[in-house]
Amino acid sequence: MSVSPTTTWAGMALALAGLALGAGLGAWGQDSSGQSSSGQSLGDVARKTRQEHSSAGHIAAKQPLNEEDDGPDAGGVWRMRLCTLIPCYELSITLPKNPKWSRAAEQPRPVLIPVSGHEEDSTHAIRVYAAESNDLKYTVDSFKRAFLQGWFARPEYFGQAARLARDEHVQIDWSTGTITHFTITTAALKYRGLSVVAGSPYGNYGFACVYREEDSAVGAGICDAIIKSAQYQELQPSYIRRVYPPANDPPEDPPDDPPDYSPDKDDPQ
């Protein structure tokens, strides 16, 4: 992946309170009168859920090609695909072979890369996240902000939105993308990170690599290598199993000697 000579500065990120990405609906109890345990009717709950999912900050759920697309493969290549139609487009990164990475068991299931000297302390691990959306209302820039500011503000991520410092517009193979430098400050820790986001005809996808600021001597180089390993490609149609309708029988072969045609023969006068 080559970096274009033009680098733009995004400045400090605006706090995008409107990018709350739709909280999941909790467990609702129901009595015989059709009321939830909170006193709301199930109709009220359904309307509220529809409103949240139609809000500007809600990112539509992905539509993966198959379950095998979820997570890195054994070789450390992590592929993101949006394959609603053919051709299918893919953004991928490659994780380091050493130190050996692992996948967190709890959502959002980042990849964890141990930091030398803190191998047994998972709070020091470098974290790699993936995100995608097939909601076509997002541009690459607005999806980047939703990912780094909306998603990262969730408690299962960091509980704080990222502060975007700088963008690099890059060439990823035959496509283009954006690398963003950012920081995250929580009550106890400060993090730094890099992300790469690209678009396709069917939506947007990206990866983010985050490390603790005190581990910058190790984390900066690892995250830089991971993000700049990004590749973008169009998958061959044969990758997607298709069912073709049976072909119709071909027409009979024409006769070897077609009848002669004479313009004077049987020409009405």
pLDDT in tens, 49-73: 445 544 444 444 443 333 344 699 9
Predicted local distance difference test score (pLDDT) of residue 11: 34
**C-alpha 9, offset from chain centre:** 24
Low-confidence ranges of the chain (pLDDT < 70): 1-70, 236-269
Q: Is residue 161 part of a domain?
A: yes
Residue 11, domain member (yes or no): no
d(C-alpha 176, C-alpha 151), whole Å? 23
Instruction: Tell me if 36 sits within 8 A of 29, measured CB to CB.
Output: yes
Question: Contact 110/104 with Cβ under 8 angstroms?
Answer: yes
pLDDT of residue 41: 54
Q: Give rounded-to-5 percent helix, strand, coil for the chain.
A: 20, 30, 50
The parent domain of residue 133 ranges over 63-238
Residue 162 is given by DSSP the state -
Sheet holding 77-82, edge to edge: 77-82, 88-94, 231-235
Residue in the structure block whose two tokens are 């000297």? 117
pLDDT at site 69: 46
The reply to whether the predicted model has a pTM over 0.75 is: no
- 239 three-class SS: helix
Q: What is the pLDDT of residue 192?
A: 98
Please tell me the predicted confidence (pLDDT) of residue 88.
Answer: 86
In the chain, DSSP finds a helix count (H) and a strand count (E) of: 3, 11
Return the CATH number at 182: 3.40.1000.10
pLDDT value at residue 249? 46
Q: How many domains does the chain have?
A: 1
